[in-house]
Amino acid sequence: MSGNTQKHIGRLSQVGIYLGKMFRMFIYQNDWKVLPMSAVIAGLVAFVVGSNLFVTQEGTLLGTFALSCICIWNGFFNSIQNVCRERAIIKREHRSGLHISAYVAAHMIYQAFLCLCQTVITIGVCMYSKVNFPSVSYITPIALVDMGITIFLTTYSADMMSLMISSWVRTTTAAMTVMPFLLIFQLVFSGGFFALSGFAEKITNVTIAKWGLTALCAQGDYNSLPMVSLWNAILKMRNVEYDGIKPIQEIMAYIENNNYREELLLKCAEYNQNAQYASTSSNILGCWGILILFIILYSAIAVVGLEFIDKDKR
C-alpha cells in the first residue's frame, strides 16, 4: 500500500467506531456505575426536600436548587475523567487518522445516552418518593416530559462542561482538582438560592445552575405557589404577650376561624413573586435555548482543546 493516496473513512464512520468503544467501556469499565449512583443521589434529595417541592415557594426554590445540583453533579461525574484518562491513546489514534471532531461527537452521543438514563432515573425516584410534580405542561403535551427535558438539558450541559475540562487537562488528578471549583461556582452563582446583586448577579448568567433552576421554577409555577415562611415565623411568636393579651394568637385565631389562611399565604407569595420565574413557554424555551448554547459552546471548546493533543510531551 505504498504511496497511499486512497480515501480513508470519514468522521461519521469514526463516530461509529468510538461509540462502540464507549458502550463497551460502559459495560466493562464500570461506567454503568453512574446510573445507580444517580438513583441514590435523587433518592436522598427527594427524601430531604421532596415534600415541599412544587408545593410552596420556599420548598420549590430549595427543591429546584437541589434538583439542579443533582443534575450538575451527575453531569460532572459522567465525563470528568473520560478524555484525560485515555489522552495518550487519543494522541496515538490522532496520529493514525482519528478526527477529533468525530471523537468528541461520539462522546456527545454516548453522554447524551447516559444523561437521558439519569433523567429517567431521577424523575422515577422522585415520583416514587411522592414528589408532587406539576401537572401543567408548557411546551410538550405532557408536563413530566417538559420537566424531563429541563433535567436532561441541565445534566447534559454540566456533562459537556466536564468533557471540556477533561479535554483540556492532561491528567485525571488535574481534572478532579478543577471539578470542585466548578461545582462550587455553579452552586454559589446559581442566582436563586443565594441573594446576589450587581456584577455578581450578572455572573449568574454564565452558570448552568441558574438556567436549570429558572426553568424548573417556571415549570413548577413558582409565582402561583403559597409562601409559608411568614406564617411559620408568626406561628413561633403566637405566645408573645402585651398587657396580659396575646395579640398575635388572637389574629391567628381570627384568620384560622374565617379560613383566611390559604388566602393569606397566597397574598404573601404575591408580594414575593420573581419575574424571572414567570411560568410562560417563552421563558422556559429561553432557558432551554441557553442550555443548548452552553452544550454547543463547551463541546466546541473540547474539540479545540483536543486538536492540540499532538503538543503533549511524551
Minimum distance, C-beta of residue 8 to another protein, in the bound complex (Å):
6
Q: What angle do CA 53, 59, 62 make, to 5 degrees?
A: 100
Residue 195 found at the interface with another protein (CB under 8 A): no
- Contacts of residue 284, Cβ cutoff 8 Å, sequence gap at least 6: 138, 139, 146, 150, 215, 218, 219
Residue 92 found at the interface with another protein (CB under 8 A): yes
Instruction: Give phi and psi for 245, each to the nearest 5.
Output: -115, 145
Residue 199 found at the interface with another protein (CB under 8 A): yes
- Contacts of residue 57, Cβ cutoff 8 Å, sequence gap at least 6: 222, 225, 226, 227, 228, 269, 272
Interface residue with another protein among 11, 21, 238, 261 (CB under 8 A) is 21
Decide whether 202 or 236 has the Cβ nearer to another protein.
202
Minimum distance, C-beta of residue 199 to another protein, in the bound complex (Å):
6
Decide whether 5 or 259 has the Cβ nearer to another protein.
5
Task: Compute how many other C-beta atoms are within 10 angstroms of the C-beta atom of residue 181.
Answer: 10
* Residues 66 and 43: beta-carbon distance below 8 Å: no
Measured CA to CA, the distance from residue 223 to residue 86 in angstroms comes to 47
Measured CA to CA, the distance from residue 85 to residue 106 in angstroms comes to 16
Residue 303 exposed, middle or buried by CB count within 10 Å (0-12, 13-18, 19+): middle
Q: Provide the mask over 58-87, with x wherever binding to another protein is found by CB under 8 A and - wherever it is not.
A: ----------------------------x-
Q: Which stretch binds another protein (CB under 8 A): 93-101, 171-179, 188-196, 272-280?
A: 93-101
Instruction: Give phi and psi for 114, each to the nearest 5.
Output: -60, -45
Minimum distance, C-beta of residue 93 to another protein, in the bound complex (Å):
7
Residue 310 found at the interface with another protein (CB under 8 A): yes
Residue 2 found at the interface with another protein (CB under 8 A): yes
Minimum distance, C-beta of residue 10 to another protein, in the bound complex (Å):
8
Encode 36-47: b = buried (16+ Cβ within 10 Å), e = exposed: ebbeebbbebbe
Decide whether 86 or 307 has the Cβ nearer to another protein.
86
* Residues 153 and 294: beta-carbon distance below 8 Å: no
Measured CA to CA, the distance from residue 94 to residue 99 in angstroms comes to 7
Interface residue with another protein among 29, 140, 205, 224 (CB under 8 A) is 29
Interface residue with another protein among 34, 83, 98, 217 (CB under 8 A) is 98
Ranges within 220-279 binding another protein (CB under 8 A): none
Measured CA to CA, the distance from residue 159 to residue 88 in angstroms comes to 22
Q: Which stretch binds another protein (CB under 8 A): 15-23, 69-77, 219-227, 267-275?
A: 15-23
Interface residue with another protein among 61, 77, 93, 100 (CB under 8 A) is 93
Decide whether 147 or 183 has the Cβ nearer to another protein.
183
Give the count of residues interacting with another protein (CB under 8 A): 33
Decide whether 47 or 181 has the Cβ nearer to another protein.
181
Residue 97 found at the interface with another protein (CB under 8 A): yes
Site residues (vs another protein, CB under 8 A): 1-10, 13-14, 17, 20-21, 24-25, 28-29, 86, 88-89, 91-93, 95-98, 198-199, 310, 314
